């Protein structure tokens, strides 16, 4: 799966600015598609302005009702800047509550099914999968596959399982409170 995600990232220069930002944001943060679609400009504005790498994202996962945080790497931050610049050039105005990822027309937030369809279309256009996902029921370049890749990379890099679960917005009970406290700087270094 990691190989597929790596190959997928090589094809990103041809993707539209918004789509590139979506894919890199999901891959470098491990966030699920519903969390991605709920992001607002205010969630990243300060970190983007300060050019933080990695950029800490304080998140709420709608699926589980859990508050957590994760980080975005340099590639995702740069892709977000390019996407925002592209949208501003097309007349979009950003306020803290503006959806970070919007539908092509209007200011409505992007919906999960549109993200999934876009990723399948990009995977198909790049030749990484055919129209039938190479005969498999699971698209190796889906939002979930990027999330799984993030988790695998972190665990294989020596990050403890509970921290990876926290970054993925999983329920980890009392352990989450410890990670929400002052430890975010040491977790950022990981």
**CATH at 103:** 1.10.443.10
Distance of CA 82 to the CA centre of its chain: 15
CA–CA dist 23, 123 (Å, integer): 11
Residue 177 is predicted with a pLDDT of: 55
pTM for the full predicted model: 0.81
Residue 182 is predicted with a pLDDT of: 47
**Domain ranges, residue 179:** 2-189
Residue 98 is predicted with a pLDDT of: 92
Mention every residue, 6+ apart, whose C-beta is less than 8 A from residue 113: none
Residue 6 is predicted with a pLDDT of: 47
Q: How many structural domains comprise the chain?
A: 1
Distance of CA 176 to the CA centre of its chain: 21
Residue 188 is predicted with a pLDDT of: 58
Which residue stretches of the chain have pLDDT < 70?
1-15, 105-106, 133-139, 173-190
């Amino acid at each position: 799966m990691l190989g597929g995600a790596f190959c997928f990232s090589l094809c990103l220069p041809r993707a539209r600015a918004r789509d590139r930002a979506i894919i890199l944001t999901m891959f470098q943060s491990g966030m699920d598609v519903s969390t991605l679609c709920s992001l607002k400009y205010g969630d990243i504005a300060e970190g983007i302005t300060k050019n933080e790498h990695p950029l800490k994202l304080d998140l709420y996962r709608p699926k589980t009702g859990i508050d957590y945080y994760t980080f975005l790497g340099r590639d995702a931050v740069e892709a977000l800047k390019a996407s925002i610049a592209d949208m501003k050039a097309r007349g979009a105005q950003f306020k803290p509550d503006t959806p970070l990822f919007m539908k092509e027309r209007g200011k409505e937030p992007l919906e999960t099914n549109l993200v999934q369809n876009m990723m399948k279309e990009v995977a198909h256009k790049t030749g990484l999968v055919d129209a039938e996902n190479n005969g498999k029921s699971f698209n190796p370049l889906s939002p979930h596959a990027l999330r799984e890749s993030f988790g695998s990379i972190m665990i294989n890099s020596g990050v403890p399982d509970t921290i990876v679960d926290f970054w993925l917005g999983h329920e980890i009970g009392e352990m989450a409170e410890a990670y929400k406290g002052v430890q975010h700087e040491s977790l950022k270094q990981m």
